[in-house]
């Protein structure tokens, strides 16, 4: 297998991050990253997106939702 291009690498990012690339492709992926700062930026931004999407979640249950839920649980216990 020959080296992978930038256009190919961007389609492999998720498989790489999930550890689903076969050993040879994963090695080619890492070799490419070591040499190409453009792709390093791309992969880094992909990671940032994943991390930030997780943080979006942290606006937790609102106070109102908690009250509703507690009421629902109480109703259940009393049955």
Which positions lie near another protein, rule CB under 8 A? 5-8, 10-11, 13-15, 18, 20, 36-39, 41-42, 44-46, 48-57, 59-62, 64-65, 68-69, 72-73, 76
Closer to another protein by Cβ: residue 27 or 48: 48
Spatial distance between the Cα atoms of 59 and 3, rounded to a whole number of angstroms: 43
Spatial distance between the Cα atoms of 78 and 57, rounded to a whole number of angstroms: 32
Closer to another protein by Cβ: residue 23 or 64: 64
In whole angstroms, the minimum distance from the beta carbon of 69 to another protein comes to 6
Q: For 4-58, give the DSSP string.
A: PPHHHHHHHHHHHHTT-S-HHHHHHHHHHHHH-HHHHHHHHHHHHHHHHHHHHTT
Closer to another protein by Cβ: residue 27 or 40: 40
């Amino acid at each position: 297998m020959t080296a992978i291009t930038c256009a190919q690498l961007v389609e492999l990012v998720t498989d790489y991050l999930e550890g689903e690339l076969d050993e040879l492709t994963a090695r080619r992926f890492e070799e490419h990253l070591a040499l190409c700062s453009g792709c390093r930026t791309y992969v880094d931004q992909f990671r940032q997106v994943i991390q930030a999407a997780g943080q979006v979640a942290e606006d937790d249950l609102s106070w109102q939702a908690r009250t509703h839920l507690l009421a629902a649980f109480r109703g259940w216990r009393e049955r």
